Chain A
Amino acid sequence: MRPTRRQLLLGGVGATALVGLGAAGLQLRPGVIRAPRRPLLALDPVAFSVIAAVADRVCPAVDGLPSAWELEVPERVDELMSRMEPGQATDVGRALLLLESPLVSVLFGGPPTPFTRLDGARQDAVLASWRDGRALRRTVWRAATQLVKGTYWSHPSTWQHIGYARPAWATP
């Protein structure tokens, strides 16, 4: 079964099967659950933990920048998701489940391990393979990384690195 992105995203039979496979895989081999620092509003604990793991790799503490975890990026993504239509949060949750599932990973030629259980270097390799994979995996890569990046760089603590500042006329 090589599901297409259309099947996944338009909620076809293939999508249901793949998400079911993803969930089954996680029952056999659960991932690492990260504890949020405030109650979750939209994401479930698995999706939150995947976002947190992706955020660690996508926005690490390099060049004097704070880490995504320090800036509470996973919690802020959860908050953003809670503002959206409920169905949108469900779509994102599905995408994150696929990235996490060891069975889906094997299906796509990856390691038989939940994403959150991999070490950093192997997580980077998995992310790169989803980024460069066929269309469905690229879609999931975008869903996972763009939310993190937008949330991270909108945080004022990252702006000194850019040379950006809130203008003098701005009010809190």
Chain B
Amino acid sequence: MIRIGAELTGDVDVACDVCVIGSGAGGGVLAAGLVARGLSVVILEEGGHHTSRDFRKADEAFSFSMLYQDRGTRATEDLAITLLQGRSVGGGTTVNWTTCFRTPERILEHWRRHHGSTLTAESLRPHFEAVEERLGIARWDAVPQNANNDALARGAAALGWTWERTRRNVRACANSGYCGFGCPFDAKQGMLLTTLADAVAGGADLYADTRAERIVVEGDRVVRVEARVLERERTRATGVSVVVRPRVVALCGGAVNSPALLLRSGITDGPVGRRTMLHPVVGMSGRYDEPVQGWSGAPQSVTVHDFVDRGPDRVGFFLEAAPVHPMLAGVSLPVVGADQAEAMGQLGFSSSLIAICVDGLVPGDEGGVVTVKGDGRPSVAYPFRPELVEAFASAHEVLAAAHLAAGAREVLSLHPVPVRLTSERDLPRLREAAYGGLRHGVFSAHQMGGCTFGPDPATSVVDLDLRHHRVPNLFVVDGSVLPTGLGVNPSETIYGLAHLAIDAVASTT
């Protein structure tokens, strides 16, 4: 049963086999698997329960305010990186752009070599197959890519790069382009419609608008989770408390929030909050003669991976398109006044291509750090290492080249005073621009790490079964366990790991 905050008028105190904190990619898959084993499961989700009825408003301000962390304003502490991160029943999977990849072999190998992992493509295969089946993950060629993605395909083809159609977790996608608002057509196979529906149908209780404030450990065991019900419209406690007394806790709050909850709870063993990876994103806008209307049509249907491995000492990046509706565009374009009005007037003729940088792989790259403020809010500090700054500069040249090869009449960077290019001859000008934090727009929709897995308690928070090193009935099952960026969009890796974790969690009850 799903219980929403407005219906919770009296304090709740429940016992169960497993308390799952967070209902996103990790929490959804895990909860469904546990319920299928006959276990009693309570899911706590701090965001609200919204459905396609709400998403049909097609209201960007509503969606960001209701479905994203910090009402859509989450950022690193210095505001250098905008962090898009989900916060509702279904977590990031309710608003994500549906691009799916299995974890690349290169990354699995890196983890085996540097992070003590034993994961292989073969050991993960049955888990990926299971989630692909349930979530309808398949290569998506139902209709041609939209003009925004086609710019990437054309540019890549002209430059001799390899481009591919993406795999997506959709069924009967209406190609609307509103994935980031929540799917209005129930086509996106996020957790809301799939695993959470399965879990609730199987008897799980899901408390929406309910934030876990503290995981209470006595001795070396979690004895309860203390949660507070929040007003949905305003992020304030209603005064109603929910206490869950489980045999096992699975923390699935996602990167940033999961390490923050451990820190708030005093479970500070190991490098909690460290190795927070963001897959930092830079973008360039290309203006075309023909309409692009990048807000219409499946957001990401083309991907280019030619630059993802630029050698062991350089940060790689991969290329995709970004669907920019007006609000996100307005925030992303750093210009103001008349320049902004001009740029927004061109939005319908602009393609937004992005380069997603793969952090955590070059030697010494420890990513960012999550801490908690006095009032318990998480804070993310993320340094801009020279290798990342170099990747930003290179990525700008690559993105500009792609736009120009695709026929853009003008290409603009996201600097406050944009670098403008009209031909390949202008490309060297990009080298003269400044790159790094607060120099131009930087975004992240892929937060990872902060509770990394590994065999050594000194360098990881959970073991290879995703069990906390010191507290055996506490697991972390979400993107926060990933020790590096992935070089692909992360959701399927998280689904797969959560599916893999079902056995270990179930056998601990």
Contacts and interface: CB of A to CB of B under 8 A. Distances in A.
Interface of A: 5-6, 9-11, 57-60, 62-63, 65, 80, 82-88, 124, 127, 131-132, 135, 138-139, 142-143, 145-147, 149-154, 158-159, 161-164, 166-167, 169-172
Contacts of A124: 337
Given A63-B341, A132-B416, A135-B437, A154 B71 contact: no
Interface string B328-364: 0111011011101110110110000000000000000
A122 to B, nearest CB: 14
A28 to B, nearest CB: 29
Contacts of B437: 135
B336 A127 contact: yes
A43 to B, nearest CB: 14
Interface in B210-256: 233-236
B344 A153 contact: yes
A162 B327 contact: no
Contacts of A153: 326-327, 329-331, 344
Interface in B380-396: 381
A57 B61 contact: no
- The interface residues of chain B, by DSSP majority, are classed as loop
Lowest 7 A-B CB distances belong to which pairs?
Answer: A153-B330, A170-B58, A163-B348, A154-B327, A154-B61, A138-B438, A153-B326
Contacts of A171: 53, 56-57
Given A57-B336, A87-B375, A153-B326, A161 B341 contact: yes
Contacts of B377: 85, 87-88
A59 B340 contact: yes
A149 B337 contact: no
B72 interface: yes
Given A85-B235, A142-B438, A162 B58 contact: no
Interface in B61-108: 61, 64-65, 70-73, 77-80
7 contacts: A84-B73, A149-B331, A153-B329, A164-B347, A169-B176, A169-B184, A171-B57
B340 A135 contact: no
A57 B339 CA distance: 12
B326 A159 contact: yes
B327 A80 contact: no
Contact of A139 (B78, B293, B325, B344): B78
Contact of B331 (A80, A150, A162, A169): A150
A63 B338 contact: yes
Contacts of B345: 63, 161-162
B330 A80 contact: no
A80 B327 CA distance: 14
A10 B341 CA distance: 35
Contacts of A9: 77-78
Q: Which of B70, B236, B341 has the largest count of A CB atoms less than 10 A from its CB?
A: B341
B342 A63 contact: yes
A145 B336 CA distance: 8
A164 B176 contact: no
Given A63-B341, A124-B337, A167 B176 contact: yes
Given A10-B77, A85-B377, A88-B70, A151 B61 contact: yes
A10 B379 contact: yes
Given A10-B379, A83-B233, A139-B78, A164 B326 contact: yes
B340 A149 contact: yes
B78 A154 contact: no
Contacts of A132: 416
B56 A150 contact: no
A88 B77 contact: no
B373 interface: yes
Contacts of B341: 60, 62-63, 65, 161
Contacts of A167: 58, 176, 178
Contacts of B453: none
B311 interface: no
A83 B65 contact: yes
B77 A152 contact: no
Q: Which of B56, B61, B342 has the largest count of A CB atoms less than 10 A from its CB?
A: B61
A132 B439 CA distance: 8
B495 interface: no
B60 interface: yes
Nearest to A138: B438
